[in-house]
Amino acid sequence: MQPFRNILFAADFSENSKAAFRAACSVAVDNESRIIVIHVVEPNWVPQDPVYYGQQSVQFHAAEPDKARHEALKRTMREVYAPDRPLEVDYLTTEGDAALEILRMAGERGCDLIVMGTHGRTGLSRLVAGSVAIAVIRGAQCPVLALRSPEKPRDSQEIRVILHPTDFSVDSEAALRVARWLAWHHGARLVILHVAMLEVLVDGTTAADVDPRDYRDALDEVKKRVDGPDLKHPIETILTRGYTAPGIIETADDLGADLIVMGTHGRTGLSRLLMGSVAEQVLPKANCPVLVFKPAQRISEPTSDRPAQKMVTVF
């Protein structure tokens, strides 16, 4: 496992964003990682000219970027998002849709990690801003480290306990490799968790349940395969029963986890449309950063070079 070399950090100047930047610095490696700090500005929409009295809709277009405003933002970004140790940091601004611009920049810069807060974007509600993080997670071709404002303040920003939930799928394997590397890099405890689902009723009958010993054997096999003397602490495993997302959140809180590293999969063999993404259920409630892995997917590119436009209907 190689360290994250190009880390894209999405800045919005909120307190949540400042904490997320500290998390970005915590996974960066001196002399090997670069952090690219990007702030996405809402375009200055101006109406078409002329606008007639009684017109039912108005076409708006994005004005030319204000260079002085962008330079002022960059100066502020250098002050607000200054690393606490020598790290290579670039500061960029752009205009447009926040999620699309973050994904575009990550692709252009060949980033292998995106870091962002899950809400708190200045001037937007938590619901809207949270949707930006979810959109990025769904569209990213690289891992996403997301951090929400925890209900309980964390005593330290150090990574001491890492929780890796697994369903023994290929997605879990990719997340496990990074979880192990982070445990080695930070000298942290690595705890591998499997939440065995409760029995499911199908047409009024109870579905056959897997013997819990099978899960325990699978966990032991994973531990045997990835444990090693290079780790400061022996790998630990936990098997519990219940619903997956609540089980992950409860275990993380019980352990005082500083980081959750997981895939975006649901339970193996179940449709994501029916189950929803477990990671997306964990993210809004976790009291620590969540590093999300997913199968690589193609990011949609704009189909036209036309300037940005939007239509507003006048009632």
Indicate the length of the chain as a whole number: 315
CATH number of the CATH domain containing 195: 3.40.50.620
On whether both 126 and 203 belong to a single domain, the answer is no
pLDDT tens, position by position, 11-59: 988 888 899 999 999 999 988 999 999 999 887 655 666 655 656 565 6
For residue 193, the enclosing domain spans 161-293
In a domain, 121, yes or no: yes
Q: Are 223 and 192 in contact (CB under 8 A)?
A: yes
On whether both 26 and 132 belong to a single domain, the answer is yes
Band (156; pLDDT cuts 50, 70, 90): low
pLDDT tens, position by position, 161-218: 999 999 888 778 889 999 999 999 999 999 999 998 766 555 655 555 566 788 899 9
On whether both 14 and 102 belong to a single domain, the answer is yes
pTM: 0.79
How confident is the model at residue 214, as a pLDDT?
A: 85
Smallest CA-to-CA distance from 175 within 159, 189, 187, 164 is with: 164
DSSP per-residue codes, 104-155: HHHHHTT-SEEEEESS--TTS-HHHHHHHHHHHHHH-SS-EEEE---SS--S
Q: What is the mean pLDDT of residues 271-286?
A: 69
Q: What is the mean pLDDT of residues 225-250?
A: 94
Please list, in sequence order, all residues whose beta carbon lies within 8 angstroms of the beta carbon of residue 185, skipping any fewer than 6 positions away: 3, 29
Per residue in 120-151, is it b (16+ CB within 10 Å) or e — as a string? bbeebeeeebbbbbbbbbebbbbbbbbbbbee
On whether both 101 and 175 belong to a single domain, the answer is no
At 210, list the tokens.
């897997």
Percentage of the residues of the chain whose pLDDT score is greater than 90: 47
How confident is the model at residue 283, as a pLDDT?
A: 86
On whether both 11 and 133 belong to a single domain, the answer is yes
Number of domains in the chain: 2
The per-residue pLDDT of the chain, averaged, comes to 80
| Cα 177 to Cα 143, 146, 174, 180, distances in angstroms | 12, 19, 5, 5
Smallest CA-to-CA distance from 169 within 264, 234, 292, 279 is with: 264
How confident is the model at residue 265, as a pLDDT?
A: 58
